Structure 1
Amino acid sequence: MTDEADLLDVNSARGRWTLATVIIGSGIALLDGTVVNIAVRTIGDDLGAGLSQVQWVLNGYLLALASLILVGSSLGDRHGRKRVYLVGVGAFGVASIMCAFAQTPEQLIGFRVLQGIAGALLTPGALALIQASFRHEDRPAAIGRWAGVTGVAAAIGPFVGGFLVEHAGWRWIFAINIPLCIAVIVLSRHVPESRDEDERAPFDIVGAVLGTASLGLITYLLTSWRDLPGWLIAVGTLVALLAGTAFVLAERRPGAMAPVELFASRVFTAANLMTFLVYGALGAVLFLLVLQLQVTSGYSALQAGLATLPITIVMLTFSSRAAVLAARTGPRFPMSIGPMFCAAGVLLLSFIGRDAIYLVDVFPGMVLFAVGLTTLVSPLTTAVLAAAPDRHAGVASGINNAVARAGSLLAVAALPAVVGLSGEDYQRASVLTAGFRHGQWLCAALLIGGGLVSWYGLRATAETLEP
């Protein structure tokens, strides 16, 4: 770990450059988690993909990211967070080039998996570098700025995707990553290196294999169950459950990449459960919304992307303020009320249909959703990191990121089937509208559940939430 005297001031020149470096890098990974949403219809048409293949274009990335993000955080803590972060950024740029030149759905899915592997190396490193590099009193502001700008990267994805699809072609949604990755590598000279100097146990290979196998099998079964024989579904479910159980037991050992002692903190446990529910809803809401706007409401790709602009504006303007306020008042209220605002926005969005008028049918719901998301994101990140020791900064960040991606992954995999969508249904307005509406209602329920978890799980305890 960095000595106390060497920790950065968030307003110093080096502090600002360090923050810019981690923001751009993690923003690239988050952007690619949503920018593809807006292009899935065009990609499906161009490459001749069905709904399950379109889902895997999204889920191949999310699966690799969620499955391996703990591996990335553990490698960073052991071998240097900056080093692993930069390896991830470089690999992400290479995988993006490969995605841009994909010629078949299978190729694109494979290259998206490679992107996810690279993302698993860089994503947890960003927050871990903030936690390890900045002074204690500056961490809420640094995390707030990180959350605001990276939240914008996730929210602006549909807009960027729509613009590029309409004016340049879907392949440019991947090619645009290249100059951003180069910028991160150039700026990285300002970032101090840090690692967990106390870690001596061997790398947790068993935990990595078991965690990846469990999540991978569950996702595959949720996405492809309609095309699988019953016996294979039963066997796959059993193996996934056994692997998941074995993973939990394995993480009780010294040197585990997801040490169970972190979950002894009620704050840490509640924040991660809330993350799973909220980010699951977020992934499914955006996936279904951009399809509904294009297929049913007649919006172009660019118009569907612009529809999400309120999220970008609100998060960019207020995220850092939300983080500082939550540091003073505690995370319970913003992490409880934020999901409720999101749920109200989603319920309004569920009524989008044919010939939807933006200011009447879309804008009010988007604003409510944006306010809720801005209210909860920064306090959530601050609470997770504050509930873990500094030496476990990378692991804590990795766990929370893995939970968030797993929530989105499983929701996008399962929700279409749950609401009756399959095959080419995403191209037929009459079928898509019913599925979209039911899907939004389910997402609202997940968001309300996340708010209740925060309210009851973050009640005053003896634990300190000071960063």
Structure 2
Amino acid sequence: MRENPVTQTAPAVDVPEKQSGSARWWALGVIALAQLMVVLDATIVTIALPFAQRDLHISDSNTQWMLTAYTLIFGGLLLLGGRLADYMGRRTIFMVGLVGFAAASALAGLAQNGPQLFAGRGLQGAFAALLAPAALSLLSVTFTEAKERARAFAVFAGISAGGAAIGLIAGGALTEYASWRWTLLVNTPIAILALIGAVGVIAKDVPLPRTGGYDVPGAITVTLGLIGIVFGFSRAAEHGWTDITTILPLGAGVVLLAAFVAIERWVANPLLPLRIPGEINRGGALLAALLIPIAMFAMFLFLSFYFQNVLGYSPLKAGIAFLPFPVGIAISAGVTSALLPKLGPRPLMVAGAALGVLGLLWLAQLGFGDSYAVSVLPAQLLIALGMGPLFVGMQAVALHQVEEADSGVASALLNAAQQVGGAVGTALLTTISVQAAKDYVAAHPGIDDLVARASIHSYDVAFYVGAGFFAAAIPVIALMIRDKPENLIEGAEDEVKIPVGV
């Protein structure tokens, strides 16, 4: 997301009161509404997954595209969206994002088959990549006084943190009392309402002077490369790792990502200046931001199926069953913010990753007939308590000592890393899970409740693999994040933003 401070306030020729009085706070309401829509859209469909899969006849290996099509395109285009907002006007890109998001949500909600649904979700991600950085940048040009800006960013951060919980509850309620389609269709009237508000209360801003091109080749190669890898994973679930339809997209994805790095090295205005991840502390934080969501996003996917298909929870009850997770993150993030200036990020982040390992290992012991209170709740709390230190530490390190000209790109890169890690990880763990279920069925023919037992076994295998990614983050953090506590006091004082999808 773009966070460049803008010193020149935007003129308000068309609406004279835009830069003073209560109009600014009405503008904050509109911006916050759009941000809430983007944040909760990463989780609101979680509870709807089993119903959409059944209605549209989507295979187990392809179900993950309902999540990854959104997060993958969102993460891949975030950097480009930030640049477009800077050079074409934040208000303009914000409104384009709202219109596109409304249309894409309608397309996804009215889908008649899997490909239509995935296409709609991908378009949602593309327009969210315009909305999210434009919304954050608009706060900078709307609130220029220090105290007001702090209050505005606090509201914005609260929306980001609470959006995941709201999405889970809203998704459960809409699925249970209306239809799974309304978890998508509900965005259309919200986006239209926000668009009307944007026209009325958000002032036109002055775009930054354009200093070069947009690095469209970079955006295309990184997005297509990631899609190729995720598609290869999904093919592996159905045809195996040695099938040509698996090898080709995986190989193409790797080649395209290599081409992206080459483009960023030589292009005049790179989408991703390589000097940002090149500093060892920031590189460690960004690598951790790739690894951690692999386990976290997949946990949401598999627990959603476990709650509804195995435990028989209603959609609303399944949404409520997830609530300890965002609540635990909010609590642990607050504690971490107080400890960060004293202890520094490294010990806190190592402890957080260790708690994540323990939590997923606990989840991996799920068995047939286990209860939520014994098998799921303690694991959720362990993981949530670990996520707070990880998210706060990653943000403090990834954005610390970044030059002002690169602050927006660095912030967008952190969010993009989390989205991409979650998308690729969900695809990988889904592939592993599907194969584990097939192997279990082949090895245990004729036993009672075979389908349910095979499903639980596949979830356990995925949780074990997820624990491995948490464990892999520990040496990355320990070896690469070296900043002393006193060097991060400034970063610890910044507002804490819980990333999309949490």
- Could you tell me which of 158, 178, 182 is aligned with 1:168? 178
Amino acid of the structure 1 residue aligned with 2:188 = I
Amino acid of the structure 1 residue aligned with 2:220 = V
Q: Deviations over 1:372-423 (max 9, x none)?
A: 2233324433433334333333322322222111111111111122242578
Residue 129 of structure 1 and its aligned partner are, at CA, apart by 4.8
Return the alpha-carbon distance in structure 1 between the equivalents of residues 148 and 392 of structure 2: 14
Stretches of structure 2 lacking an aligned partner (at least 5 in a row): 11-20, 442-449, 492-502
Return the alpha-carbon distance in structure 2 between the equivalents of residues 308 and 142 of structure 1: 28
- Going from structure 1 to structure 2, the CA distance change for 1:139 and 1:261 (only over 3 Å counts) comes to farther
Assess if the C-alpha contact under 8 Å between 1:131 and 1:393 holds in 2: no
Is 1:25 the counterpart of 2:34 in the alignment?
Answer: yes
The 5-angstrom pairing of residues 255-274 of structure 1 reads 255-274=269-288
What is the RMSD computed on CA atoms of the aligned residues? 3.4
Residue 444 of structure 1 and its aligned partner are, at CA, apart by 1.7
Is 1:466 the counterpart of 2:466 in the alignment?
Answer: no
Structure 2 SS opposite 1:53: coil
- Could you tell me which of 246, 250, 254 is aligned with 2:259? 246
Question: More deviation in 111-120 or 195-204?
Answer: 195-204
Return the alpha-carbon distance in structure 1 between the equivalents of residues 102 and 23 of structure 2: 25
Return the alpha-carbon distance in structure 1 between the equivalents of residues 286 and 296 of structure 2: 15
The 5-angstrom pairing of residues 398-437 of structure 1 reads 398-419=412-433, 420-421=435-436, 428-437=451-460
- Could you tell me which of 178, 196, 209 is aligned with 2:188? 178
Return the alpha-carbon distance in structure 2 between the equivalents of residues 123 and 219 of structure 1: 23
Q: Deviations over 1:36-89 (max 9, x none)?
A: 221111111112221133222222222322222222122123223343233223
Amino acid of the structure 1 residue aligned with 2:87 = R
Residue 316 of structure 1 and its aligned partner are, at CA, apart by 4.8
Assess if the C-alpha contact under 8 Å between 1:73 and 1:394 holds in 2: yes
Identity of aligned residues (%): 27
Find the counterpart in structure 1 of residue 222 from structure 2.
211
Question: More deviation in 335-344 or 323-332?
Answer: 323-332
Find the counterpart in structure 2 of residue 59 from structure 1.
68
Return the alpha-carbon distance in structure 1 between the equivalents of residues 295 and 83 of structure 2: 28
Question: More deviation in 93-102 or 455-464?
Answer: 455-464
Residue 227 of structure 1 and its aligned partner are, at CA, apart by 3.9
Q: Deviations over 1:270-323 (max 9, x none)?
A: 111111111111111111111122222222222222111112333455646644
Assess if the C-alpha contact under 8 Å between 2:277 and 2:286 holds in 1: no
Assess if the C-alpha contact under 8 Å between 2:437 and 2:455 holds in 1: no
Return the alpha-carbon distance in structure 1 between the equivalents of residues 207 and 282 of structure 2: 20
Q: Which of structures 1 and 2 has the bigger CA Rg?
A: 2
Question: More deviation in 391-400 or 249-258?
Answer: 391-400
Assess if the C-alpha contact under 8 Å between 1:149 and 1:315 holds in 2: no
Find the counterpart in structure 2 of residue 89 from structure 1.
98
The 5-angstrom pairing of residues 337-348 of structure 1 reads 337-348=351-362
Amino acid of the structure 1 residue aligned with 2:38 = A
- Could you tell me which of 382, 392, 395 is aligned with 2:409? 395
Residue 220 of structure 1 and its aligned partner are, at CA, apart by 0.9
Find the counterpart in structure 2 of residue 457 from structure 1.
480
Find the counterpart in structure 1 of residue 373 from structure 2.
359
Find the counterpart in structure 1 of residue 500 from structure 2.
none
Return the alpha-carbon distance in structure 1 between the equivalents of residues 204 and 281 of structure 2: 28
Assess if the C-alpha contact under 8 Å between 1:73 and 1:398 holds in 2: yes
Find the counterpart in structure 2 of residue 349 from structure 1.
363
Return the alpha-carbon distance in structure 1 between the equivalents of residues 9 and 334 of structure 2: 24
Return the alpha-carbon distance in structure 2 between the equivalents of residues 191 and 248 of structure 1: 37
- What TM-score do you get using the length of structure 1 for normalisation? 0.86
Residue 136 of structure 1 and its aligned partner are, at CA, apart by 7.6
Residue 23 of structure 1 and its aligned partner are, at CA, apart by 4.1
Structure 2 SS opposite 1:33: coil
Residue 329 of structure 1 and its aligned partner are, at CA, apart by 5.6
Amino acid of the structure 1 residue aligned with 2:233 = L
Question: More deviation in 416-425 or 200-209?
Answer: 416-425
- Could you tell me which of 45, 54, 66 is aligned with 2:54? 45
Find the counterpart in structure 2 of residue 111 from structure 1.
120
Q: Number of aligned pairs? A: 463
Structure 1 SS opposite 2:376: helix
- Going from structure 1 to structure 2, the CA distance change for 1:371 and 1:318 (only over 3 Å counts) comes to closer
Find the counterpart in structure 2 of residue 305 from structure 1.
319
Find the counterpart in structure 1 of residue 14 from structure 2.
none
Amino acid of the structure 1 residue aligned with 2:208 = E
- What TM-score do you get using the length of structure 2 for normalisation? 0.81
Task: Name the structure where helix makes up a greater proportion of residues.
Answer: 1
Assess if the C-alpha contact under 8 Å between 1:214 and 1:243 holds in 2: yes
Question: More deviation in 208-217 or 74-83?
Answer: 74-83
Q: Deviations over 1:234-267 (max 9, x none)?
A: 3333322221111101112321111112123323
The 5-angstrom pairing of residues 278-317 of structure 1 reads 278-316=292-330
Amino acid of the structure 1 residue aligned with 2:308 = Q
Residue 156 of structure 1 and its aligned partner are, at CA, apart by 4.1
The 5-angstrom pairing of residues 318-337 of structure 1 reads 319=333, 322-323=336-337, 326=340, 330-337=344-351
Structure 2 SS opposite 1:54: coil
Question: More deviation in 226-235 or 428-437?
Answer: 226-235
Return the alpha-carbon distance in structure 2 between the equivalents of residues 430 and 334 of structure 1: 37
Stretches of structure 1 lacking an aligned partner (at least 5 in a row): none
Return the alpha-carbon distance in structure 1 between the equivalents of residues 478 and 144 of structure 2: 30
Structure 2 SS opposite 1:173: helix
Find the counterpart in structure 1 of residue 13 from structure 2.
none
